[in-house]
Amino acid sequence: MLVAAAVCPCPPLLVPEVAAGAAPELDDARAACADALGVLAAARPDRLVVVGPADETGRGQYPEGTPGSFRGFGVDVDVRLGRGRPDPAAMDATAPERELPPSLAVAAWLLTRTDWADAPVAGLGVGERLEAEQCVRAGRELAAPDQRVALLVMGDASACRTLKAPGYLDERAAGFDAEVARALGSADIPALKALDSALAHELKASGRAPWQILAGAAENTPLSGSLLYDEAPYGVGYLVAAWS
């Protein structure tokens, strides 16, 4: 069963070495992420699953110990998912010896920053166009009834909040982000399930599929939510929430 969840944004800019001189601009977001991870630790889960968006080559499962890096963003920073070494038997047979996709690499960095050692960790990279029904089904499968499972859910809201945003200004973005923030802050499972996948894609909201996986995992668990951060630096919606 799902005992806790943390929702965090996944921009590589959360890593100070990547952000460089702009690093202080996301200090509040980093602090909120640390608070959300504290909620996960307090729940004492048997297993932590990190879920984040991934492109076609990054989809699938990642066992504890899978490496990742931010070298593609111009910095010599390496990470590893959890504390263990990867078990070859647990690797996704379709793509062995892969590195973490960027969203899961950010999650691995957050876990390292908070010195996570509370439970084994596994990762799941999901396609941003995965249908809502499939997301909910995947969430149900993650919340195994015989284990206390926690989720670290990575993903950004819209990237269209300002003229200088990656997706330019879209007048629908602020309303979409406000509804997502409300749903995450109140653990509103039906609202998350009902998110419009086509609109989310148009607004470049990479978190839609991971949020709907969370909704599926939380279906039969009475969790309460708390919104810890809701800002749009650089025109991209970054949300942090904790469910417990």
In this prediction, residue 179 carries a pLDDT of 98
Instruction: Express each pLDDT in 154-191 by its tens digit.
Output: 999 999 999 999 999 999 999 999 999 999 999 999 99
**Cα 76 from chain centroid (whole Å):** 23
| pLDDT tens for each residue of the chain, 244 residues long | 999 999 999 999 999 999 999 889 999 999 999 999 999 999 999 999 999 999 999 999 999 999 999 999 999 999 999 976 555 554 444 445 689 999 999 999 999 999 898 899 999 999 999 999 999 999 999 998 889 999 999 999 999 999 999 999 999 999 999 999 999 999 999 999 999 999 999 999 999 999 999 999 999 899 999 999 999 999 999 999 999 9
| Amino acid residing at 184 | L
The stretches of 123-172 forming alpha helices (DSSP H) are: 132-142
Domain of 88, CATH number, reads 3.40.830.10
| pTM: predicted TM-score of the whole model, two decimal places | 0.94
Task: Give the number of other CB atoms < 10 A from CB of residue 74.
Answer: 11
β-sheet bridge partners, residue 68: 79
In this prediction, residue 231 carries a pLDDT of 97
In this prediction, residue 89 carries a pLDDT of 52
| Domain of 138, in residue numbers | 2-243
- CA atoms in the 13 A half-sphere facing the CB of 28: 9
**156: which residues sit within 8 A by CB, 6+ positions away?**
9, 10, 11, 205, 206, 207, 236, 237, 238
Total structural domains within the chain: 1
